[in-house]
Amino acid sequence: MSKPAFEDMFNLKSGRRNRKSFALFMLAQLGISISLFSVIFVVTPALSEFEKGLIALLVFVVGVGLLMTQFCAMAQRCRDIGYRGFWVILNFIPVVALIFQALLLIVPGTKGPNQYGPDPLDPEARAEGLTSANTNASILSK
């Protein structure tokens, strides 16, 4: 069973994400972005300059939120492959970003646990809750 696409999406410091979960997350994020910006494109011409400024502020806030969750998911995917999440910085180099994201979709993760945590496809680890979003909450409550 695959890790749910929106589980641990703000967990930048730990966790792993398999290819299926990563692809579903990126597709959902792309769908949200396209639908939001399509609505904005249709609505914006009829607005005043002040309202356009408010829409621009909304786009900025939503864009930063989408970018942050995307980087968190990419960092988790890097950890599943066996690399540090720091490699997400490659997204700031235009052509390299496309190659990097394609590799994240193609390269399989390491089998079994690695230094970044248990295998997200391992049913035993999922049954124990080692990869769930509730792990941090259960640790903090103790």
Give me the tens of pLDDT residue by residue for the chain, a chain 142 residues long. 556 666 666 565 667 888 888 999 999 999 989 998 888 888 888 889 898 889 889 889 988 988 988 898 899 899 989 898 889 999 999 999 999 999 999 998 888 888 888 888 876 765 555 444 445 455 445 5
- DSSP class of 45: G
The Cα 111–Cα 120 span in angstroms is 9
User: Minimal CA–CA distance to 74: which of 61, 60, 88, 84?
Assistant: 88
Q: With contact defined as beta carbons under 8 Å apart, do 68 and 60 qualify?
A: no
Question: Phi-psi region for residue 112, left (φ > 0), alpha (ψ -120 to 50) or beta?
Answer: left
Whole-structure pTM value: 0.74
**49, exposed or middle or buried, with CB in 10 Å at 0-12, 13-18, 19+?**
exposed
75-to-51, 62, 99, 123, 135 alpha-carbon distances in Å = 36, 20, 15, 22, 18
Question: Phi-psi region for residue 58, left (φ > 0), alpha (ψ -120 to 50) or beta?
Answer: alpha
Q: With contact defined as beta carbons under 8 Å apart, do 117 and 79 qualify?
A: yes
